[in-house]
Structure 1
Amino acid sequence: MPILAIIGFFGSFVKKWAAAAVRFGTMLAISTFILGFTIAFYVGLMSLVFIALSKVNALINYINSYAGNTDELIALFF
């Protein structure tokens, strides 16, 4: 009889820890996905700003070269 009680105790102990490990693994996976998507979002946002600023810089250079004079006011403002 005491053997069944010991097996029952360790069985519930293992069941409780296995359920906790599964919950922890799920929470860790969700947190990792959220962190990865957040990093990807900010990297994409920074690359979008970089592309936009390079296009604005190219437009300002085009305007400066088309005007024919070497007025540095637009470049100084930028």
Structure 2
Amino acid sequence: MADELDLLQEQEDLINQLHIQAARARSGRAGESLTHCEGCGNDIPQGRRDAVPGVRVCVACQQHLEFQSKQYQRWG
């Protein structure tokens, strides 16, 4: 059972890395980063704007969007 859990965790880590790479690839076309999240209106920290050029949402909203996407893929 532990080996299966380790494998699932490795797969989840890989998927997360692929999402990050895809976001960075898209960011080249995304234009300038927003200073405020288009989801909730909160400030987007400069560190996030530097790390993800063209970012449009804060970390909390990004996590929510990714969770919704996973739920949709699982049940959709």
The TM-score normalised by the length of structure 1 is 0.43
The TM-score normalised by the length of structure 2 is 0.44
Q: Which structure's relative contact order is higher, taking Cα pairs within 8 Å and 6+ residues apart?
A: 2
Larger radius of gyration: 1
